[in-house]
Amino acid sequence: LRVVALASLLATGSGTQAKRTPLPPISDAILQEHVELGEELESRADGDLNGDGDPDTAYLIASEDRRTLHVLLRIPARGAQPHRPAGEFVLPEAPLGPASLSIANGVLKVEDLSGGTTAMSSTYRYRFDAKTGQMRLIGLDATLYSRTFAHDGYEMSWNLLTGAIITRLLALDEGSGDAAYTPKFEQRSRRPSPPIAMKDTPDPEMIMVDLRKK
């Protein structure tokens, strides 16, 4: 009985240790240390990206001519550094509003709208790569369209994990009296790619140009 009781106590103690209280998210004060004169913290999102149970942070710093996405992984405080960088990416210029950041099920989603009367709506998805210790692009969706319905549009959805890519022409449809788009000519193909680090995220418009040449 004593052996059983001791085993039970050890198991209970081990379980208690495994269920430690998660660390708090990185504070706004720490993020502000990375913001320089003429810049602002446009948006942030917190969530577990590397599966350790602690909240990591993605944040976007913006200035008049540059917008940079950063990812910091939360680590147990050692000295004065309770975090480490895991990737960054310069977003397109001319934003049409703040980008939206969210973290769910270990995936960072970045939704951004940029351009002018011709706009690009882009959704980037990233996941932590344990082999490199950095964030990796796993999905890219984009739509190029006219905000004044002056021309046709084009959209694509690329799953980098499987290589599957779907493209559609968005044809102007004025039959209802108000200009709108109707998806046409959907094509499904494959675009295999080696792992792409966050810092090497491609320009979706350049990918669209390449796809339309084929």
Residue-by-residue DSSP string for 5-34: HHHHHHHHHHHHHHTPPPPPPPPHHHHHTT
Which pLDDT belongs to residue 6? 46
Q: What is the pLDDT of residues 111-129, one digit of tens each?
A: 999 999 999 999 999 999 9
- Which residue shows structure tokens 């990416």? 89
Q: How far apart are CA 170 and CA 144, in angstroms?
A: 9
Is the model's pLDDT at 80 over the cut of 50? yes
107-115/164-173 β-pairing: unpaired
pLDDT of residue 211: 84
pLDDT at 195 over 80: yes
Instruction: Let me know the angle formed at the C-alpha of 112 by 197 and 75, rounded to the nearest 5 degrees.
Output: 50
Per the CB < 8 A criterion, the answer to whether 99 and 42 are in contact is: yes
| Phi and psi angles of residue 34, each rounded to the nearest 5 degrees, phi first | -95, 0
Q: Is the pLDDT of residue 131 over 50?
A: yes
Give the number of C-alpha atoms closer than 13 A to the C-alpha of residue 76, restricted to the C-beta side.
Answer: 3
Mean pLDDT of 71-96: 84
Query: Which pLDDT score is estimated for 88?
Result: 96
Q: Give the C-alpha separation, 128 to 208, whole Å.
A: 26
Residue 180 has pLDDT above 90, yes or no: no
Q: Look at residue 196 in the predicted model and tell me its pLDDT.
A: 96
Helix (H) or strand (E) holding 207: helix 204-213
- pLDDT digits 0-9 by tens, 28-55: 888 888 888 888 999 999 999 999 899 9
The whole-number average pLDDT for the span 57-63 is 94
Query: pLDDT: is 91 or 64 the higher one?
Result: 91
Q: pLDDT confidence of 9, banded at 50, 70, 90?
A: very low
For the residues 73-96, what does the mean pLDDT come to?
A: 83
Assess whether pLDDT exceeds 70 at residue 177: no
Q: What is the mean pLDDT of residues 127-147?
A: 96
pLDDT digits 0-9 by tens, 158-175: 999 999 999 999 998 876
